[in-house]
Amino acid sequence: MPFLFSLLIIALMVGALVDIIRREDSQVRFLPKMAWIVIVILLPLIGSLLWFAIGREYSEAGLRIPRMRPAPRTAPARVDPAPMRPVDNRSTEEQIADLDREIEEWRLRAEIEKRRREGGDATNGSEKSAS
């Protein structure tokens, strides 16, 4: 059991030392980085706990957990977010008025197409009788 406890203290000390060394000077609080390194080496358990409790500056979002980088050969497939449904900000009356205009437009188009067909038939019929 003491061996396991010693391993945990050494792992905590190594983690604290790596964190101190990798951190920028602006993210170290209360003491210079070199002082924190000395404290963690001389007092492994207390120094490491003090470093993680008060020595380092945490971001506003809390603890930053580093993400593993994907292998260079197998880049993860990019997942696009689900498309958002269109939002219609018009009132009900405006929507009904737009539908009425659309219906009238389709009615007029149908009438124009009908007249074209009738006019085309009349010219074709007169041409046939003239020959």
Tokens representing 38 are 């000395």
The pLDDT tens digits for 43-81 are 889 998 988 888 877 766 555 556 666 556 665 567 777
The pLDDT tens digits for 3-58 are 888 899 899 999 999 988 898 888 888 888 899 999 999 988 999 898 888 887 77
The pLDDT tens digits for 80-111 are 777 778 788 888 999 999 999 999 999 999 99
Quick one: pLDDT band at residue 2, thresholds 50, 70, 90?
confident
Q: Is the pTM of this model over 0.75?
A: no
Please name which of 49, 64, 38, 67 lies closest in space to residue 8, comparing C-alpha atoms.
Answer: 49
Domain boundaries, the chain: 2-55, 90-131
Helix extents (H) in 43-91: 44-50
Which residues make Cβ contacts (< 8 Å) with residue 45, sequence separation at least 6? 9, 12, 13
Task: Note the maximum CA span of the chain.
Answer: 117
Instruction: Provide the 10 A C-beta neighbour count for residue 16.
Output: 24
Partners of 62 in the β-ladder = 59
CB 20 within 8 A of CB 28: yes
Residue 39 CA to chain centroid, in angstroms?
41
